[in-house]
Amino acid sequence: MKILVLNGSPKKKSDTFRLTEAFLRGMNRRAEHETHIVRVIDTKISPCRGCFSCWRRGDGRCVIDDDQNAILDVYRDADVIIWSFPLYCYGMPSHLKAVLDRTIPLVQQKMVRLPDGAVRHESLVDFSRIHTLVISGCGFPHWEGNFDGLRQMCRTCFGSPTMICVPETPLLNVPAAKAVADPLLARFERAGEEYAASLALSPDTIAALEAPMIPADTCSDSGPIYPATRPPSSPGAKMKPLSEGGARTVFPPIPSRRRIWTGITGTWLNPASFTHLPPLTTPVPSAI
């Protein structure tokens, strides 16, 4: 099979992509596939200009001369397209959304009404032969609604893709959480095998892949758990291992006299007044 993987994480060590790699390993156990992996953040893909010149020409190409046309060539030819990305503000990261927006050269202006009343553009490509799989990781513990917007958008855009929405994925890059991360990676590998065999996943498999690694209420009191990917402006940030009470990044305190210019309100803020922030400790479940 021809597989196109669109890796939409901007991070080199993407939590989500670890799951996707495990899934691909499982797929390759069944048979060898021709796999194209595009790390979207490394490509040059500008936002859609909304000029519709693709629709006037009808040649399935975009007028902007960057990397998107090469992606479209692989896209229209793929048997399986895997969208792998972190949940950003309940949707996909903007650089990946630009790739999605710029697939409109693959449809035409002409609209069709579906039996359920929905309206779509007629396509230039036979999308019914392309199987779409969405793997999305997120920082929050499991809660109803976190992925609702994304699920709706993907259902409408991709016509009921297979979706795997995984909570707490930053744990995948926390060495102390190996005991709960490894079993999830193993489940993804087995799921890859199942998908390669049937181009579908059973509801039970999806439920097992989406199950939280640690109980949702363990980390929901103090926010999501993040490993030490620190911003460059915070030298000296260090991480407490899970075994010592949490996997959250602990930043050195900001000196209280240093003020921060807020471009939005046009005022100076004193960080010492940030007393509403939750304490930087995360209780660890005894299970791990």
Ligand X SMILES: Cc1cc2nc3c(=O)[nH]c(=O)nc-3n(C[C@H](O)[C@H](O)[C@H](O)COP(=O)(O)O)c2cc1C
State yes or no: residue 14 binds ligand X (CB under 6 A). yes
State yes or no: residue 205 binds ligand X (CB under 6 A). no
Pairing of strands 260-262, 267-269: antiparallel
State yes or no: residue 103 binds ligand X (CB under 6 A). no
CA distances from 147 to 42, 206, 216, 278 (A): 26, 14, 15, 24
The secondary structure element, H or E, covering residue 6 is: strand 2-7
Residue 89 or 119: which CB sits closer to ligand X? Answer: 89
Q: Which of 68, 103, 132, 146 binds ligand X (CB under 6 A)?
A: 146
Q: Which of 169, 205, 218, 282 binds ligand X (CB under 6 A)?
A: 169
Interatomic CA distance for residues 175 and 247, integer angstroms: 9
Residue 1 or 185: which CB sits closer to ligand X? Answer: 185
Crossing angle for the helix pair 178-198 and 15-30, to the nearest 10 degrees? 40
State yes or no: residue 16 binds ligand X (CB under 6 A). yes
Distance, first Cα to last Cα, the chain = 39
Residue tagged 């291992």 (tokens): 241
Q: How far is the CB of 57 from ligand X (least distance, A)?
A: 35
Beta strands in 88-201 (DSSP E): 107-113, 119-123, 131-137, 162-166
Query: Alpha-carbon torsion 4, 7, 13, 17, what sign?
Result: negative
State yes or no: residue 249 binds ligand X (CB under 6 A). no
Q: How far is the CB of 277 from ligand X (least distance, A)?
A: 17
Contacts of 91 (CB under 8 A, 6+ apart): 97, 149, 150, 153
State yes or no: residue 218 binds ligand X (CB under 6 A). no
State yes or no: residue 140 binds ligand X (CB under 6 A). yes
- Binding window for ligand X (CB under 6 A); candidates: 21-29, 94-102, 132-140, 181-189: 132-140
Residue 9 or 162: which CB sits closer to ligand X? Answer: 9
Residue 90 or 274: which CB sits closer to ligand X? Answer: 90
CA distances from 214 to 2, 169, 245 (A): 35, 11, 14
The token pair at 92 is 């996909």
Q: Which of 23, 88, 188, 195 binds ligand X (CB under 6 A)?
A: 88
Interatomic CA distance for residues 213 and 167, integer angstroms: 8
- Using CB under 6 A, count the residues that bind ligand X: 18
Residue 12 or 129: which CB sits closer to ligand X? Answer: 12
Q: How far is the CB of 59 from ligand X (least distance, A)?
A: 34
Residue tagged 């699920």 (tokens): 151
Do 216 and 282 form a contact (C-beta atoms < 8 A)?
no
Q: How far is the CB of 197 from ligand X (least distance, A)?
A: 27
Q: How far is the CB of 131 from ligand X (least distance, A)?
A: 22
State yes or no: residue 90 binds ligand X (CB under 6 A). yes
Q: Which of 11, 29, 57, 238 binds ligand X (CB under 6 A)?
A: 11
Judged by the rule CB under 6 A, the positions of this chain that interact with ligand X are: 9, 11, 14-17, 86-90, 137-140, 146, 169-170
